[in-house]
A = this chain, B = another copy of it.
Amino acid sequence: MNDAENRHDPDTLTAVSETAVLQRLFPRLPAADGALIGPGDDAAVLAAPDGRFVVTTDMMIHGPDFRLAWSSPFELGWKAAATNLSDVAAMGAAPTALVVAIAAPGDTEVTTFEGIADGLREACLALAPGCGVVGGDLSVSSTMTIAVTAFGDLGGRRPVLRSGARPGDVVAHAGALGEAAAGLALLFADAVDADGEPDAGRAAAARIRHPRLIEAQLRPRPPIAAGTLAADAGATAMLDVSDGLAFDAARIARASGVGIDLDAQALGIDVERALGGGEDHGLLATFPPDAELPAVFRVIGRVTAGAGTLFVDGVEHTPVGWDPYAGWDGVAG
């Protein structure tokens, strides 16, 4: 490295104090409308006007959950927020706040954390306005890890569980089906090097060819507002489709002790991908037959008798879990 390059060495996590890094991140993070005490003390204090709050946590790990050669820091922050917001929405709640713990190798540039903060902010603004980041933690780790805990307000609603579906209910879905999986398949096919490892240059080229599907994978836009709409419309059961429609529909069937019969014709052109592809984070809900469905939901099946069984067009279907990175080494790329 010559002198000119040396002079532009970026700040890294270990070169800059944690306090200084946080001072660069705080202004980028979205404020939460419900924050009574925000970041900076031992803990935050959040309003819970309903006398209850919804809470969910999910961790994204470099390797099994994302690749730095494929995702920008902005997209990591966005996706970490979006997937957690979606779990809050699936209870019939409106997201209010996040806390975010990030660990990364010591030589990670501070600009990477700034990008993650920007993604967290823009996802909150776009998907759940008023929801903000009220606290967090920053650590050094050899494996980049983003742990988000998200909170929501039920606003007096009964939480919508997985266990409330009843025979005769309609099954409906809001959001994308199979697009995130299609995007990931494109990345696996076109954005790897000769050894099969993720490659940033090829990913950039693949994005130009397939911007919509790759963005569906790296920067999903789950229909967060559909959660409270579904609850208000009387949804009897609901969940966030993270592991594929078939696998998650079977979860409702088991939890509710019912059968679920999906209508293949309602699942688009690529039925297999719609059934098996995970990470779209749409909402799958059941409604009483006379319910007036929110416009964002499409009917894709019905609830039948049949303790815990999933059917497609009346034929029993065995769902397979979504584990696209299984077998990868979890380090390279």
Residues of chain A having any CB pair with chain B under 8 Å: 36-37, 41-59, 61, 63-65, 87-88, 90-91, 93, 97, 99-101, 103, 134-137, 139-143, 145, 147, 149-152, 154, 159, 161-162, 238-240, 330-331
Do B141 and A64 touch (CB < 8 A)?
yes
By a CB distance below 8 angstroms, the chain B residues around A88 are 42-43
Do A149 and B41 touch (CB < 8 A)?
no
In the complex where A103-B145, A141-B145, A331-B142 touch, is A48 in contact with B53 (Cβ < 8 A)? Answer: yes
Do A42 and B87 touch (CB < 8 A)?
yes
By a CB distance below 8 angstroms, the chain B residues around A48 are 48, 50-53
Q: Give the residue of B37, B51, B59, B90 whose beta carbon is less than 8 angstroms from that of A139.
A: B59
Query: What are 20 A-B contacts defined by CB distance under 8 Å?
Result: A36-B52, A37-B161, A41-B91, A41-B162, A42-B91, A42-B162, A42-B240, A43-B91, A43-B152, A45-B154, A55-B97, A57-B100, A57-B147, A59-B139, A59-B145, A61-B139, A64-B141, A141-B143, A147-B147, A149-B149
By a CB distance below 8 angstroms, the chain B residues around A154 are 45
Which 4 A-B residue pairs are closest in the complex by CB-CB distance?
A48-B48, A43-B56, A147-B147, A42-B90
Q: How far is the CB of A123 from chain B (nearest CB, A)?
A: 17
